[in-house]
Structure formats: structure tokens, C-alpha cells
Chain A
């Protein structure tokens, strides 16, 4: 076999080897290091980048909005995600807005019935988001937050380095290393029951538009969210297709995402398309992340569309198990 196996030298002293340096693996390293364990972190592609699905995330820390369809653990654990991230990176606490076009305002009422932590905004919308061209009404989730996912990954890598944890570049599977292993390889993992859910996104630069917080547009056919990043950059997301197809964004998805953005603010038509992206969200059947124990291997996987929202809690449960034997609500035995 011509496979490059990682050397065993540098990690010989580690208590746990973590394979995969996406949002799950990085958080596992952070939580275990904090718990006093010596960790070794390996990724076949090195530091986070376009090769991992964490790179393509929106970066919304919006547990209440997600609660419209997500299971209870996502809302419960997601509520502490912003505080966890704030330890290592910049988190913007401005809440999030949910809007609908006049024709679809029934969708807004339904969303309100299915979520908590929100207030109706009518007259105050102009003060909150002066640039938003939806005059009617909106749902405001004041306690929600967002971050720039790529900056956050970089900050987490830097924080780990400051604590003596480096990312080793090398190909490894749990069989290649001895001792306790955390497998956080996402879709590359062989953990049973995992499937890929395709997501497509677009990044635009629209310096004329000033949105201060993530905006979700409810639409019966083309739901959309827009997350503001620094310097007039906006992330538009995201499709959710039951397919493991990793090819580039489809023309249909591009049309739908851009049309929805245009409906929200016609000035998006003048935006510069910086980037499009496609990747797979690893998910279990209930779309809730899991810590799955298989002998000496702990799988951290299935973060679905909740990578940034759920990685801190998932990592904490892995750390609690490895250090104290505590099995949290996300823990499964295979």
C-alpha cells in the first residue's frame, strides 16, 4: 500500500489521538486539553481549509431558530455555543431576524409557533435593520449570535497552538494508532448510520448593503439565510439535498439562492459573486450529532447543519466521558 502512515514518534506521549481537524476535531482537542489530557491532532490535509465541510458553514449560532425543525438537544446545547466560542474568537451578539414576503406571512406565524426566544418586531424593524427592504414585520431572536467560521477556525487553531497542540499533516485511521482515539473525520469516517446531505452556498460582496445580523427568509420553495461577514461580504445559504453528490453548485441552486436574496434586497443584483461552494453535511438519521463509542474509538460525528452550534457541547461530552466516564445525552454505544 502506498498510503502515507503518520509517524508514531511525536505523539507517543499523547493520552488521546484525534483524527480530523474540522470543527469537531478542533473542539475535541480544545476540550480535552482543557481537561488536562495530552492530545495529538492529525488531519490528512493539515489545517482547516476548503477540503473540510466546516469551511463552508454559515456561522450562525441560532439555536432557537434551528428549533423550528431540529430536535430538542440541538436547542438545549446550542444555547451555550456562543459563550464557548467567545473564549477563542470574536462572536457578534446582535441576535437574528426571520422575515417573510407579504405573500408568505403565514409562514412567519408558523415559525413563531414552533420556536421560542423571539419577539415580534413591527415598527422597530427600521431601527434594527435600516437596510432591510421588508417593510411588514419580522421575528427577532435577540439572544442569538453569529461568527465568521473561517476566522473562528483560524482562531481556534491559534489557541490550540498556544497550548502546545499542533495539527500534524498525515493520513491516519483509528487502526493506525494505538490507545484512545477520537475519530472526527466527518464523511471519511466509517461510523454506521452516517449519510451525507448536500449543501450549496454563495458568497457575495455587496458593500452598498449594510446588514448587522443574520437574516432568514422563509419561503415555501426557496428558504434562504444571509449571514453578514466583515467588509460588505455576505454568505448566502444553503440548499439541503438528500444526496452525497459533491460536484459544484447547480445552476438551479444558484438561481434560487440569488433570486431569494434579490427578493430580499434588489441591490444584491449588483453584488460581486466571490465564491460558490458545495459540500456534504455528515448526519445521522435524526440529524442530531453523536458521540459514538466503538471500543477504544470515540466517534464525534453527524453535526449536520449544526457544526458550530453543537461542536462545543459534543466535544465536552467526549471529554467528560474520557476523563470521568460520564455518558451525556449525545452519547451512544455501537
Chain B
């Protein structure tokens, strides 16, 4: 099993902590899902968020601070440094937004920020597109984990470019990878894990569900099911039907 900067996770599910109806439901969702990592935005809950951060710490899972909402490398670097102080971890989910409407990552700003932060000892989880060239540059910059998107943040579209993701997975067999953003259904999470990704990260699909706790549990099960399926060497699709029961020797009626 691939590890994340030396940490082997109990569950391939990572959950965001925004937009839940209440902290009580957030907590119940984490318990029901068995998620092993909580992402938290330093920027949005800026300053004086102690009570909420205490709730996040109380979940007893790994905390992955993010730089959500940052639109430039400089902004993301500043936020990352603050997050390291507040949460006492070198982990940082690096998010540099390139477009206000699609919220797609800015690959150039991302690479800049990743280089700086890796040199400062951060353990960077870069939120990126599925671009292979970018992936190589990020690895060269010192990233030992990659976080390609499934689809735009909050869109719930699932795996938008299955081919691209499959190619990326094949190109970097030793790099742990998390599918981050755009997952809307547990089946999307299962599909990502079946493709050989090491974890999935999502927020909106759980937090905004009518029953976030039930949905969190469903995502936990789906991610685990997909991971198990991946280790079981799935069959290849084929064009011709192949009966699973041999017909020879059966009575013809």
C-alpha cells in the first residue's frame, strides 16, 4: 500500500469539513464514514476559529489543512505557512485557483508554490488537473503525493476524464494519488479506487446531502469496495458474450 509522506491510512476516504448543517452532524458523518483524513480551510474560517478547530482535532483523524480560495502562489504560500503554525503539521493541500467560475487549478501558480513550500519542508498535496506534464514537474519540485481532480470543485460530475486519469495513474505507478473534487456519488468514489487511485477526497457530496451521515457512510463503503476490487485484478471488458456456465453436456429441451 502506498503511503502519504510516511503515513499509511486506515481508510481511503478523506472528507472536507465545510458546509455541514452543524458540527454535530459533521462529527457523526466522520464516524459513520470511517474517513481517515479531515481537510480544513484556514482561510475561510479565518482567525478566532478555535472552537471549530477543536472540533476537527477531536475527530481523531489526520488533519490536512488546505489553501482553499487562494488565487495566487504568494497567497497560497502565506496561507500554508499560517496553517503549519495553527495545525502543527507539515501536510498541506495546495490549492491555487486559476479561474473564478470553474475553480480549476492554476498549474503555473501551483508549481511555483509547490517548489517554494517543498523547499521549506512542507509535505505538499497539490490539487491539480490530470495533466501528465504538470504531474512530472510537481514530482520534480518535491511533491511525493499528487491530487488530480475528478471534475470541478462542487460540481458532482464524477470522473470527467477517465482516460486522462487512467493514463496518469499508469505513468506514475509509485506516486500515491488522491482523486480530489468533483465527486458526487459513491459510485464515483468506487470508480476512482477501481482505477488504482489511493484515496478520494470530497466534501460537498456529503455535507450537502439530505442525510450527510448516511451519505458519508455510503462513500466510506464505496471507497473501500473500490480499493478491494482494485487489488482483486478486475476482469477486462470484452465485446463477446461469454456464458459463465458451460452449455456442453446440458440437456436440450
Chain A residues with CB under 8 Å of chain B are: 69-71, 110, 113-114, 195-196, 220, 241-246, 283, 285-287
Taking CB atoms, residues of chain B closer than 8 Å to A71 are 21-22
Q: In the complex, which residue of chain A has the Cβ closest to the Cβ of B49?
A: A243
The answer on a CB contact under 8 Å between B22 and A244 is no
The answer on a CB contact under 8 Å between A195 and B22 is no
The answer on a CB contact under 8 Å between A285 and B55 is yes
The CA-CA distance from A18 to B226 in the complex, in Å, is 57
Q: In the complex, which residue of chain B has the Cβ closest to the Cβ of A252?
A: B69
The CA-CA distance from A314 to B97 in the complex, in Å, is 44
Closest beta carbon of chain A to B166's beta carbon, Å: 29
The answer on a CB contact under 8 Å between B210 and A244 is no
Since A285-B27, A286-B23 are in contact, a sample of 18 more A-B pairs with Cβ atoms closer than 8 Å, ordered by chain A residue number, is A69-B21, A71-B21, A110-B210, A113-B210, A220-B154, A242-B49, A242-B51, A243-B48, A244-B50, A245-B46, A245-B48, A245-B49, A246-B48, A285-B55, A286-B25, A287-B21, A287-B23, A287-B24
The answer to the question of B52 belonging to the interface, with a C-beta cut-off of 8 Å to chain A, is yes
- CB contact under 8 A between A287 and B51, given known A113-B210, A114-B210, A242-B45: no
Taking CB atoms, residues of chain B closer than 8 Å to A287 are 21-24
Per-residue contact bits, chain B 39-56, to A (CB 8 Å; 1 contact, 0 not): 000001111111110010
Q: In the complex, which residue of chain B has the Cβ closest to the Cβ of A69?
A: B21
B1-54 residues at the A interface, CB under 8 angstroms = 21-25, 27, 44-52
Q: In the complex, which residue of chain B has the Cβ closest to the Cβ of A221?
A: B154
Per-residue contact bits, chain B 163-190, to A (CB 8 Å; 1 contact, 0 not): 0000000000000000000000000000
Taking CB atoms, residues of chain A closer than 8 Å to B27 are 285
Closest beta carbon of chain B to A240's beta carbon, Å: 10
Closest beta carbon of chain B to A190's beta carbon, Å: 13
The CA-CA distance from A143 to B103 in the complex, in Å, is 39
Closest beta carbon of chain A to B67's beta carbon, Å: 16
Closest beta carbon of chain A to B160's beta carbon, Å: 18
Q: A245 is contacted by which of B24, B47, B55, B210 (Cβ under 8 Å)?
A: B47
Per-residue contact bits, chain B 85-124, to A (CB 8 Å; 1 contact, 0 not): 0000000000000000000000000000000000000000
Taking CB atoms, residues of chain B closer than 8 Å to A70 are 21
The CA-CA distance from A159 to B51 in the complex, in Å, is 37
The answer on a CB contact under 8 Å between B52 and A242 is yes
Q: A243 is contacted by which of B22, B24, B46, B55 (Cβ under 8 Å)?
A: B46
The CA-CA distance from A255 to B203 in the complex, in Å, is 25
The answer on a CB contact under 8 Å between B48 and A244 is yes
Taking CB atoms, residues of chain A closer than 8 Å to B25 are 286
Taking CB atoms, residues of chain A closer than 8 Å to B55 are 195, 285
Q: In the complex, which residue of chain B has the Cβ closest to the Cβ of A286?
A: B24
Taking CB atoms, residues of chain A closer than 8 Å to B48 are 196, 243-246
Taking CB atoms, residues of chain A closer than 8 Å to B44 are 241
The CA-CA distance from A283 to B47 in the complex, in Å, is 18
The CA-CA distance from A87 to B56 in the complex, in Å, is 43
The answer on a CB contact under 8 Å between A285 and B24 is yes
